[in-house]
Amino acid sequence: MASNLLLVLAICTIVLPSIALAAEYIVGDTNGWTIDFNYQAWTNDKVFHVGDRLVFQYTPPNHNVFKVNGSSFKDCIIPSSNGDALTTGNDVVTLATPGKKWYICGVAKHCAEHGQKLVIDVIEEGPAPAPSAAHEVVSSSIRVFIAVMVAVAAIMMQWNMH
Ligand SMILES: *[C@@H]1O[C@H](CO)[C@@H](O)[C@H](O)[C@H]1NC(C)=O
Ligand SMILES: [Cu+2]
């Protein structure tokens, strides 16, 4: 029985941290989604992975969120259909695919004159060989090592009980 528990722990040691790796980002942190904030600077120290989430926080109807393409982003072209906008004030966007993603505010001239626009580059999750991912590779090796040690302990306990 005790060894079964340890085996479950060993599995959790491997599986749970992988799930927890999906990050959630409050866009602009405590500033939220607003005008006259440098979202480009906000992204500088962040790496966005597939599965991560963006949360746009604001007081509706002061702002909204449109996902647009690169050219609409550059020129702040607001889509004509308001139905395409996110408007709850707590808009959660799951980053489902890799590549560049562009978001703008469609209210007044917030995008064109107040910089309320966000562009991010989403990278694929997995064993990325990029140097910036090196620490993640190391930490997952440590997780596997811990899991193996727990499993070995479980097997030894089983022997002792026989
Ligand atoms: C970008 O989106 C706009 C508005 O939906 C559209 O008119 C335009 O053709 C798109 N541009 C590209 C390069 O896809
Ligand atoms: Cu706005």
Q: pLDDT tens digits for 115-139?
A: 999 999 999 975 444 444 444 544 5
Nearby residues of 4 by Cβ (< 8 Å), 6 or more positions away: 154
Q: Count how many residues are written for the chain.
A: 162
What does the pLDDT read at residue 129?
45
Residue 24 to residues 29, 91, 161: CA-CA distances in angstroms? Answer: 11, 12, 45
Beta strands 99-104; 117-123: pairing state:
antiparallel
Closest CA to 52 of 28, 84, 19, 30: 19
Closest CA to ligand 1's atom 10:
69
What does the pLDDT read at residue 138?
47
Q: Are 151 and 7 in contact (CB under 8 A)?
A: yes
What does the pLDDT read at residue 51?
96
Ligand 1 atom at shortest distance from the alpha carbon of 69: 1
Name residues of the chain where pLDDT drops below 50: 11-12, 127-135, 137-138, 142, 146
Q: Is the CB of 72 under 6 A from ligand 1?
A: yes
Q: Side chain identity at 124, as an amino acid letter?
A: E
